[in-house]
Amino acid sequence: MKASDRHGADRHFFVGLARAFAGALIFAMPLLMTMEMWQIGFYMGDVKLALLALVSFPLLVGLSRYSGFEPTYSLGDDVADALVAIFVGAVMATGVLWLFEVVGPETSPREAVGKIALQTVPAAIGATLARGQLHGARPESTEPDQEPGFAGELFLMGVGALFLGLNVAPTEEPILLSYMMGPWHQIALAAASILLMHGFVYAVEFPGQPRPMEGATFLSLLLRYTITGYVLVLGICIYLLWTFGRTSGLALEEIISAGIVLGFPASIGAAAARLIL
Amino acid sequence: MANRAAKKQEPRKGEAHPRGSTTPLEWAIAALGAMLLAALLLYLAYFAVSYRETAPAASVEALSVAPAGAGYLVRYRVVNEANGTAAGLQVIGQLRRGDETIEEREAVIDYLPPFSAREGGFYFSQDPGSYELVLSLGGYSEP
């Protein structure tokens, strides 16, 4: 690589890095200012937090593949993107939590690490998304991050569900709502979630809508994408509730109803992810 | 928001990011990210292995006694020396003379994180110096 090219690439990288910081800040801001996130950061089990950090890594790699800010061409590039996003998320979360005095010199190491690590996950997702979304133009020949297949669509739905679910799951409201709502309202909420998911993607004609495949009937689209997607969304919601310690001591039916409540925002996140990413 | 149409715009001039090239600088930042992730996992694994017990172990001590307004302020510090969190931890401060409790005050600490300390104070109307000051802890709940 010539010196001038190297300079251009570095400049390009710094612009991308600045976008990543902007994205981490925008996407993680509601969570940075959610007190449950600070508390859960220190009281959640070590294993649960480590698992969340572990799960987020392949997720960021996949997200970089389908959306990332740099047009990527190889797994190595996607891994680099994901690691840069983790770095950006951690630095941003540390900086903002320090400004808020949520962490400071008197905070014990375990408490600080828990608070920062938990915020790093949504911040890193935000960093990766922003590098994709705030991007003005991208070269035409970026086949890898165009038109994901079935697994790719499910992956994107999962990321969208995780992201919106992550914003709601730490709060007490999903559990409280699941106590307040009767079974019929819960069934209605599940039906509404599925309807909205399907409507968002196939009926409302947002830009970015996937083209209906040749010969694909309404029922086949509903079953293959929306219903499968909704089951995935529920799984992710229950994983998030478990991670945040919201399921401990609950009976199975209570866990399912909390999952349905959290599934409402998460399914909209899943549908939106298919359109936006 | 970018949509699929926008993604198909012409490449910008001077877009110096050729195929398959993550620059050394980007790899350096990525290496820092990898180190952070690895350090986090090791740190958490260390805690998970070293501290199987997850009940908090809290103790309270008085930090200072000083006149405040019409009465006295006793500042206290509660320290947790285990890998468990106490939520809604009760802190009780008493002024005693023999078996007799002259004054009693109570405070609640919302959360006492693992290996952390929290501080607070009790307002007494009598001078704690003239009595026996007893600080103790009440109940907590697991978050």
User: Tens digits of per-residue pLDDT, A213-268?
Assistant: 656 677 787 888 899 999 999 999 999 999 998 888 888 989 999 999 999 999 99
| Range in A117-121, B34-38, B42-46, B49-53 the model is least confident about | B49-53
| Range in A88-102, A141-155, A242-256, B73-87 the model is least confident about | A141-155
Q: What is the pLDDT of residue A225?
A: 85
Contact check, Cβ <8 Å, A73/B40:
no
Whether residue B83 is contained in a domain is answered as: yes
Domain carrying residue B127: 58-137
Whether residue B142 is contained in a domain is answered as: no
Task: Name which residue leads in pLDDT, A97 or A204.
Answer: A97
Residue A246 token pair: 């919201």
| Range in A189-198, A212-221, B37-46 the model is least confident about | A212-221
Query: Nearest Cα to A123, choosing from A6, A261, A21, A214?
Result: A21
Contact check, Cβ <8 Å, A9/B16:
yes
Q: What is the pLDDT of residue B2?
A: 40
CATH number of B82's domain? 2.60.40.1620
What is the nearest CA distance from A91 to chain B, expressed in angstroms?
10
Pairs of CB atoms within 8 A across A/B: 153
Whether residue B5 is contained in a domain is answered as: no
A21 touches A128 (CB < 8 A) = no
Residues B95 and B35 in one domain: no
Residues B64 and B83 in one domain: yes
Residues B42 and B69 in one domain: no
What is the nearest CA distance from B40 to chain A, expressed in angstroms?
8
Helices (H), A2-108: 3-32, 35-43, 46-66, 75-99
Residues B74 and B48 in one domain: no
Whether residue B82 is contained in a domain is answered as: yes
Whether residue B36 is contained in a domain is answered as: yes
Cβ-based contacts of B34 with chain A (< 8 Å): 83, 86
d(CA A270, CA A159): 7
Is residue A140's pLDDT more than 70?
no
Residues B72 and B86 in one domain: yes
Residues B39 and B92 in one domain: no
Which residues are within 8 A (CB) of A75 and not within 5 positions of it... i.e. 6 or more apart?
A61
d(CA A277, CA A161): 13
Determine which of A7, A55, A110 to mutate to test the interface with B (most B C-beta atoms within 10 Å). Answer: A110
pLDDT in tens, B1-29: 444 444 434 344 334 444 456 788 889 99
Cβ-based contacts of B36 with chain A (< 8 Å): 86-87, 90
Whether residue B72 is contained in a domain is answered as: yes
- Our count of domains for chain B comes to 2
Residues B39 and B96 in one domain: no
Residues B88 and B112 in one domain: yes
Query: Nearest Cα to A210, choosing from A263, A123, A132, A146?
Result: A146
Residue B27 token pair: 């790899």
Residues B68 and B102 in one domain: yes
Nearest-Cα residue of chain A relative to residue B20: A73
d(CA A20, CA A27): 10
Residues B133 and B70 in one domain: yes
Nearest Cβ partner for A77 among B4, B22, B45:
B22
Task: Name which residue leads in pLDDT, A275 or A82.
Answer: A82
Residues B75 and B34 in one domain: no
Whether residue B35 is contained in a domain is answered as: yes
pLDDT in tens, A18-60: 999 999 999 999 999 999 999 999 999 899 999 999 999 999 9
